[in-house]
Chain A
Amino acid sequence: MKQFIGFLKKEFLHIFRDPRTMMIIFLLPIVQLLLFGKVINTDIQNSRIAILDQSHDNTTREITSKLVSSGYFVLGDELMPGDDVEDVFRKGKVKMVVTFGPEFEKSLERDGKADVQLLADASDPNTARILTNYASGIINDYVKKEKLQNLQLPNQINTEVRMLYNEGLKSVYMFVPGIMAMILMLISAMMTSISISKEKELGTMEVLLASPLKPIQIVLGKVTPYLLLSFINALTIILIGVFIFGVPIKGSFVFLMAESFLFIMMALSLGILISTIAPNQMVAMFISVLALMLPTILLSGFMFPIENMPLPLRILSHAMPPRWFIVIIKNIMLKGTGILFVWKETLILMFMTFVFIALSIKNFKIRLE
């Protein structure tokens, strides 16, 4: 045990003495989270819209004020019939034009049917889609609540949209789990694999193996500091998510941390596995970035929805541990579910951990023989 504590002290000295390691461990998670949360913000706020109102009745005015008071839109130009709509877009400030047909209120009351046209600037397709979704949602909502209460008329504007669990479509709800998966992968897997292969590269690994330390003590000694640091990182990310970005934790906090712990263990064993393959730090880093970081970002469903991927990539995404972890934390944080709903994903992560450890032991034995 004394030997082991001495080993840990040495590991922490390595970590605290290397400014790059310190930056990756303590600064990177915060910077990443703030960047994704604040800068790369796909949320819609204060988008400028123009209104072309051919009716000028109460209903159209009310809808307009609903749109503006939603916070998503600000009113730009009031257009007149015959204005060049394209010219409005070309000036670039207006993102969407809302056109009410003539006699809007009357035809709504008479036929239960009225025309609204939402014209969006689809040169930015994502924003366009979100804007039209929001606007049609607001209009529908208004028509339903205010106008059709007593009328048993079919709703003719068929764009019912409701966002469950993330009604504001806040992208940070998606980024917090994604960043957490990414950072934990980076620190647990990449940093351990680099720190173990560094000992190989410097020749100190041979000295350690020739010493009375058992191989398992060496590996645990190398891994434990990163386990602690990753756990602190997981906590930091969750705290920033909750207190700065207002992401809820609807489920059990203890359960959330337990699942994070499992994911860290998985990533650590992956890091050990990489270090049994990589002869030096460069290779370890290369494998980590290519085999871990990019797939985490691209294939885990963190940035791009898995459903939209071509079949081979969709199949490949099953082998990505973060994919399962992201499902788990989203479930716990946003939906408040317990183990009953994520036991499958949890088992998959456990299985992966087991496989990585088994492969590491096998590789290690081959090297010794």
Chain B
Amino acid sequence: METVIEVRNLVKKFGSFVANDHLNFDVYQGEIFGFLGANGAGKTTAMKILCGLSSPTSGEAKVAGFDIYKETEKVKRNIGYMSQKFSLYEDLTVAENIRFFSGVYGISPADRKEKQDKLLKDLGLESAKDSLIGSLPLGWKQKLAFSVAIFHDPKIVFLDEPTGGVDPITRRKFWDLIYEASDRGITVFVTTHYMDEAEYCNRVSIMNAGRIEALDTPENLKKQYSAKNMDEVFLKIARNTE
């Protein structure tokens, strides 16, 4: 399996506070990698470093085969990013948002048109092409934001708590999209604190106080901690480290 993210001894300090304490992990091509942890455990910090939004204090990391220190530009070309706020422009239409982000990633107008038509058809949103994003229901916005984040066919897509504040049915539907992307070979790196979502991932890492305490498939973790579900796994890890 090809390694698309390689992290070695990654440290991030804010003054004396250690947000990421010597992280080591690999993420493989096409997998759905769940990055779990309580609020403040340091998962968003680590994700931001991998996306080039923040620079580490020490350690090494490669994303899509490129060094995050020296080849930030190339890293950015090969990733997609979706923040917890859906991050589309509310005062622009669906088509205008797609046009803007296509331009940012250098997709030619002809390619864009073709992909856009397919995308809207797949999502069943053809009628909404010229509606302002602000006028669409939350579930649609979320689907669109994800589709726009992978519109340029990145190697990896980073999702920062993508399902925060969304009802369970919409969440389930959103995960269908994630599976589709993964089937297309896009690696999905997702942070979440919904433990039921952890079950949907191929592998999960669980962070606590800046350190990765466990990293394996959900099945193995449940066996290892003799737990019924991921919720229990998470609680046991949190208690052990207290």
Residues of A within 8 A of B (CB): 2-3, 5-7, 9-10, 13-14, 17-18, 202-204, 206-213, 368-369
Stretch from B71-79, B115-123, B192-200, B216-224 contacting the other chain: B71-79
Say whether, besides A13-B92, A13-B96, A369-B54, A212 and B87 are in contact (CB < 8 Å). no
How far is A213 from B79 in the complex, measured between Cα atoms in Å? 13
Chain A contacts for B88, CB-based, 8 A:
204
How far is A2 from B102 in the complex, measured between Cα atoms in Å? 11
- 1/0 per position for B126-160, CB-CB distance to A under 8 A? 00000000000000000000000100000000100
Q: Is B85 an interface residue (CB 8 A)?
A: yes
Write 16 A-B pairs (CB below 8 A) sorted by A numbering: A3-B103, A9-B100, A10-B96, A10-B100, A17-B92, A18-B91, A202-B85, A203-B83, A203-B85, A203-B87, A204-B89, A206-B87, A207-B82, A210-B81, A212-B104, A212-B105
Chain B contacts for A206, CB-based, 8 A:
48, 53, 81, 83, 87
Contact A2 B103 (CB under 8 A): yes
B residues contacting the other copy or chain, number (CB 8 A): 32
Give the Cβ gap from A6 to chain B, nearest Cβ, in Å: 3
Contact A3 B106 (CB under 8 A): yes
Interchain pairs with CB closer than 8 A, number: 77
Residue in A5, A202, A206 with the greatest tally of chain B CB atoms within 10 Å:
A206
Contact B54 A368 (CB under 8 A): yes
Chain A contacts for B87, CB-based, 8 A:
202-204, 206-207
Q: Is B170 an interface residue (CB 8 A)?
A: no
Q: Is B233 an interface residue (CB 8 A)?
A: no
By secondary structure, the A interface counts as helix
**Minimal Cβ-Cβ distance residue in B for A6:** B103
Chain A contacts for B90, CB-based, 8 A:
202
**Minimal Cβ-Cβ distance residue in A for B108:** A2
Known: A17-B91, A17-B92, A208-B104. 13 other contacts (CB 8 A): A2-B103, A6-B103, A10-B89, A18-B91, A202-B85, A204-B87, A207-B81, A210-B76, A210-B158, A211-B76, A211-B104, A369-B54, A369-B55
Chain A contacts for B89, CB-based, 8 A:
10, 14, 202, 204
**Minimal Cβ-Cβ distance residue in A for B85:** A203
How far is A233 from B238 in the complex, measured between Cα atoms in Å? 60
Q: Is B51 an interface residue (CB 8 A)?
A: yes
Q: Is B185 an interface residue (CB 8 A)?
A: no
**Minimal Cβ-Cβ distance residue in B for A217:** B104
Chain A contacts for B104, CB-based, 8 A:
3, 6-7, 208, 211-213
How far is A103 from B101 in the complex, measured between Cα atoms in Å? 89
Q: Is B99 an interface residue (CB 8 A)?
A: yes
**Minimal Cβ-Cβ distance residue in A for B84:** A203
How far is A2 from B85 in the complex, measured between Cα atoms in Å? 27
Cross-interface CB contact of A2 among B86, B92, B96, B106, cutoff 8 Å: B106
Give the Cβ gap from A27 to chain B, nearest Cβ, in Å: 20
Contact A212 B73 (CB under 8 A): yes
How far is A368 from B104 in the complex, measured between Cα atoms in Å? 21
Contact A209 B85 (CB under 8 A): no
Contact B83 A212 (CB under 8 A): no
Give the Cβ gap from A193 to chain B, nearest Cβ, in Å: 18
How far is A212 from B79 in the complex, measured between Cα atoms in Å? 9
Give the Cβ gap from B2 to chain A, nearest Cβ, in Å: 22
Cross-interface CB contact of B51 among A17, A210, A369, cutoff 8 Å: A210
Chain A contacts for B77, CB-based, 8 A:
212
Q: Which residues of B30-75 have CB atoms within 8 Å of chain A's CB atoms?
A: 48, 51-55, 73
Give the Cβ gap from B95 to chain A, nearest Cβ, in Å: 12
Contact B91 A13 (CB under 8 A): yes
Give the Cβ gap from A283 to chain B, nearest Cβ, in Å: 17
**Minimal Cβ-Cβ distance residue in B for A203:** B85
Give the Cβ gap from B106 to chain A, nearest Cβ, in Å: 7
How far is A71 from B76 in the complex, measured between Cα atoms in Å? 71
Cross-interface CB contact of A210 among B53, B85, B96, B103, cutoff 8 Å: B53
How far is A270 from B186 in the complex, measured between Cα atoms in Å? 42
Chain B contacts for A202, CB-based, 8 A:
85, 87, 89-90
How far is A7 from B149 in the complex, measured between Cα atoms in Å? 17
Contact A212 B96 (CB under 8 A): no
10 closest A-B pairs by beta carbon, nearest first, are A6-B103, A203-B85, A210-B81, A203-B83, A210-B51, A207-B87, A203-B87, A10-B100, A212-B76, A17-B91
